[in-house]
């Protein structure tokens, strides 16, 4: 293969990858309660089912548990759920958050998240927590590979969604809808798995203003 052919092929693969991805835009903000992570921006969404391309598709299932993730907010009268999530994307991921749909509530809340795909007043903020094993909120209790908070290819995680309720009766491990929070499409899903990263310094002021608006809508 000559250099020109290789360059064209590489460019084609890059464009195909971009076209296959489901871009997400949104924000995360801390709430009083469990842990604080600072303002963040959404960079990727992982999900279950055919709407997600292979490099963003995972598998997930749920069961029940008596264990807590954030003991100080746990209601003993509401069942807790365990999510079993396996990375089938072929890529490693970090800074993953569980973000409820509008119909979903739970009590191990770190903050709120809202999508930028819908303008106000439709961009409802919903509850979210980081899937980790540090701080007061420790939902992640099993990693099948290294215990480092990195979701490696082929790895399975087990984590707790505390006091889970979905008003539509949807399973907490159903991540089949595109987008997250108020932008989640369809009635079958209960939540989304979203990567939220710390923003660059130049976007901090915009994040602060967006956070105030999202918090007012949630209240």
- pLDDT tens for residues 123-134? 689 999 999 999
Q: What is the pLDDT of residue 21?
A: 53
Q: What is the pLDDT of residue 33?
A: 83
Give the separation between CA 100 and CA 139, rounded to whole angstroms.
15
Q: What is the pLDDT of residue 19?
A: 38
What is the CA angle 180-136-192, rounded to 5?
10
Structure letter (DSSP) for residue 181: G
Q: What is the pLDDT of residue 120?
A: 56
Q: Using CB atoms within 10 A of its CB, is residue 121 exposed (0-12), middle (13-18) or buried (19+)?
A: exposed
List the chain residues with pLDDT less than 50: 1-20, 204-206, 209, 212-215, 217-219
Q: Using CB atoms within 10 A of its CB, is residue 107 exposed (0-12), middle (13-18) or buried (19+)?
A: buried
Q: What is the pLDDT of residue 1?
A: 47
pTM: 0.82
Q: Are 153 and 89 in contact (CB under 8 A)?
A: yes
CA 56 to chain centre: 12
Q: What is the pLDDT of residue 3?
A: 40
3-class DSSP state of 208: helix
């Amino acid at each position: 293969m000559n250099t020109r052919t290789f360059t064209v092929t590489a460019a084609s693969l890059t464009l195909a990858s971009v076209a296959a991805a489901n871009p997400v835009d949104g924000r995360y903000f801390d709430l009083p309660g469990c842990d604080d992570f600072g303002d963040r921006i959404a960079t990727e969404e992982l999900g279950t089912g055919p709407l997600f391309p292979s490099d963003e598709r995972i598998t997930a299932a749920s069961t029940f548990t008596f264990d807590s993730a954030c003991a100080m907010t746990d209601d003993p009268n509401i069942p807790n759920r365990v999510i079993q999530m396996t990375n089938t994307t072929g890529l490693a991921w970090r800074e993953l958050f569980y973000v409820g749909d509008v119909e979903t509530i739970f009590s191990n809340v770190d903050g709120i998240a809202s999508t930028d795909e819908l303008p106000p007043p439709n961009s409802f903020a919903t509850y979210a927590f980081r899937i980790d094993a540090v701080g007061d909120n420790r939902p992640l209790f099993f990693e099948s590979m290294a215990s480092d908070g990195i979701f490696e290819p082929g790895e399975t995680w087990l984590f707790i969604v505390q006091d889970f309720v979905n008003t539509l009766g949807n399973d907490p491990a159903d991540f089949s809808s595109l987008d997250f929070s108020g932008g989640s499409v369809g009635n079958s899903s209960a939540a989304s798995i979203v990567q939220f990263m710390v923003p660059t310094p130049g976007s901090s002021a915009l994040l602060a203003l967006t956070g105030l608006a999202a918090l007012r809508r949630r209240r």
